[in-house]
Structure 1
């Protein structure tokens, strides 16, 4: 099958390499220094899925039709990337591999003739340079769309992906996106401090802030009428209990996430964007909670402040110490 991957970052390169290993014909879009690097060296994947080398066709934009497309850009770049390739993509089944809540809706708006799906992935991958990616956590991915049962089309594409990388079809995909958004609250504090996710969780004060942001996300979701989907051992009733429990008890959640990550430092996708001098997707993570809160006529002050601090680091290039971060919440 001819598969296009839009975006040659950490996840795009990972999926391209693993799908190519299953014999699919891969085309990957890339820009800047990444394009000649992929053309000459291919994609080298190391870490959790083993050592692999793939040599997909690398192009700046798509020129020929494909059977399936994966949108693997950062959330803030998705609309522009889809629009740029829409002449080829419209009518092609599309899977959006992204954090946040808006990816599938964006694809549907820009590609009205396409069948659009979302993929939630728990894979942690570190972008080491063009065509070089190290998987620090090999984990499950989840495919779906809407808030109902997984349909026949979802099951078809799940089977194709699952042959390359562990993938499950998911009911109540929208609810699972909110559950993943709770998990994505891991990203802001590493971007603000320059520390790994594991090190942030290891600091009592930062762990407490992370717990507050997660609890606030659950409360905003509930105020928005969301039925949280089951993901990574989290479920509607577990998250409701988490939001109601004392903060000291709620810190068990980030601590359990740190345990699952293992010992290989996980920078988180937001810190990786900063390290590459790119805009972060914080407005689609913590910022998404703030926007949803406004829509539900409530507030999300912790996530609003975390969003502001990530933008501050983006502009200044200077990380904050844990003490400085805690001081911004007093």
Structure 2
């Protein structure tokens, strides 16, 4: 099968390498200085899925039709990347591999002739340079679309992906996106402090703040009538209870997430973006919670301020000390 991967970052490179190993004909788009490097050296994957090397066709933009496309850019770059390749992509099944809530909607708007799906992935992958990725946590991915049960087309593409990397078809994909948004609350504080996710959770004050951002996310979702999807042991019932429980008890959630990460430092995708001098997708993570809250006339002060602090670090290039961060929330 001829498969295009839009974006040669951590996840795009991971999926391209694993799909190529299954015998698929891979085409990967890359930009800037990364383009000639990946063209010359291919993609090297290490860590959770073992050591792999793939040599896909690497181009700046697609020029020939394909059977399937995966959009693996950061959320803020998705619209431009899809639009740039729309002449080739429109009519091709497209899977958007992205954080946030808007990826599938954006793809449907720009590719009206395409069947569009979303893929939620829990894989933690560290981008070490063009064509070099280390998987720090191997984990399942979840494919779906809409808020109903997984349909036949979803099951078909799930089987294609699952042969390369563990993938499940999920009902109520929109609800699952909200559940992943709760998980993505792991990202902001590492980006603000420069600490790994494990280190942030290990500090009591930062852990409480992370927990508050998660609780606020769940409460905003419930207020917008979202039914959270089942993902990684989380469910609507469990998250509803989480929203009502005392803060000390809710801290068990980030602690359990840390235990699944192992000992390899997990920077989180937002901190990795800062390390590469790139814009972060914080507006599509904590910022998405603040936006959803504003849409129904309620406040999300914790997530709004976390978003502001990540932008502050983007502008200054300087991380904040944990004590200074906590003082901003008192």
Q: Tell whether 2:40 aligns with 1:25.
A: no
Report how far residue 298 of structure 1 moved: 0.8
Task: Give the corresponding residue for 1:14.
Answer: 14
Instruction: Name segments (4+ residues, structure 1) moved above 6 Å.
Output: none
Report how far residue 297 of structure 1 moved: 1.6
Report how far residue 32 of structure 1 moved: 1.1
Task: Give the corresponding residue for 2:88.
Answer: 88
Gaps of 5+ in 1: none
Give RMSD over aligned pairs. 0.4
Report how far residue 33 of structure 1 moved: 1.4
Q: Tell whether 2:232 aligns with 1:242.
A: no
1:212 is paired with a residue whose SS is helix
Deviations 1:157-199 (A, max 9, x none): 0000000000000000000000000000000000000000000
CA separation in 2, counterparts of 1:72 and 1:101?
14
Q: Tell whether 2:101 aligns with 1:104.
A: no
Q: TM-score, normalised by structure 1?
A: 1.00
2:119 is paired with a residue whose SS is strand
CA separation in 2, counterparts of 1:83 and 1:102?
15
CA separation in 2, counterparts of 1:259 and 1:40?
38
Q: Tell whether 2:322 aligns with 1:288.
A: no
CA separation in 2, counterparts of 1:57 and 1:36?
11
CA separation in 2, counterparts of 1:53 and 1:67?
23
Matches within 5 A, 1:253-268: 253-268=253-268
Report how far residue 25 of structure 1 moved: 0.2
Deviations 1:113-166 (A, max 9, x none): 000000000000000000000000000000000000000000000000000000
Report how far residue 81 of structure 1 moved: 0.2
CA separation in 1, counterparts of 2:17 and 2:33?
19
1:241 is paired with a residue whose SS is helix
Task: Give the corresponding residue for 2:127.
Answer: 127
Deviations 1:197-231 (A, max 9, x none): 00000000000000000000000000000000000
Report how far residue 295 of structure 1 moved: 1.2
Deviations 1:76-132 (A, max 9, x none): 000000000000000000000000000000000000000000000000000000000
Matches within 5 A, 1:208-219: 208-219=208-219
2:232 is paired with a residue whose SS is coil
Matches within 5 A, 1:218-233: 218-233=218-233
Task: Give the corresponding residue for 1:153.
Answer: 153
Task: Give the corresponding residue for 1:309.
Answer: 309
CA separation in 2, counterparts of 1:117 and 1:234?
22
Task: Give the corresponding residue for 1:324.
Answer: 324
Deviations 1:48-88 (A, max 9, x none): 00100000000000000000000000000000000000000
CA separation in 1, counterparts of 2:223 and 2:107?
26
CA separation in 2, counterparts of 1:296 and 1:227?
16
2:35 is paired with a residue whose SS is helix
CA separation in 1, counterparts of 2:85 and 2:231?
32
CA separation in 1, counterparts of 2:296 and 2:208?
25
Task: Give the corresponding residue for 2:73.
Answer: 73
2:230 is paired with a residue whose SS is coil
Task: Give the corresponding residue for 2:50.
Answer: 50
Gaps of 5+ in 2: none
